[in-house]
Amino acid sequence: MSKSSLLIIDDEPSITKILEHFLKKDFDVVVKHDGSEGMLWLEEGNQVDLIIADLHMPNLSGKEFLKVARASNLYADIPIIILSGSDESSERIYCLNAGADDFMVKPFNPMEVHAKINAILRRSKRFS
């Protein structure tokens, strides 16, 4: 069975390192450092099963990335988890309403991220 692939988009190297470390055993992990880099990578035709994106990053924020992805025929169905350093419920509500599949506040437990990824992928595979 091939591994599911994850795209992690975050401008904080410490976060991408932690996520990559905890997830690379079970997933193929690709890391990009801002939303436009992530979008460019997708536009090059790369396939991904799930995206983890930071809310606040340069060039294309998590919110903007979410908007672009959900408006696109190609990426509308890719599950997206938003990470944020802020625990503001208005941000969370906005992202979930805009199409995020989950919203996690930093610092997070990498095991919980792993569990949420598995839960979302189980659901999305059931419907595809």
Question: CATH number, domain at 47?
Answer: 3.40.50.2300
What is the CB neighbour count within 10 angstroms for residue 93? 11
pLDDT of residue 127: 62
The closest of 111, 11, 84, 121 to 93, measured between CA atoms, is 84
Is the pTM for the entire model greater than 0.85? yes
Domain count of the fold of the chain: 1
> Which band of pLDDT confidence, cut at 50, 70 and 90, is reported for residue 126?
low
Domain that holds residue 90: 4-127
Over residues 31-42, mean pLDDT? 96
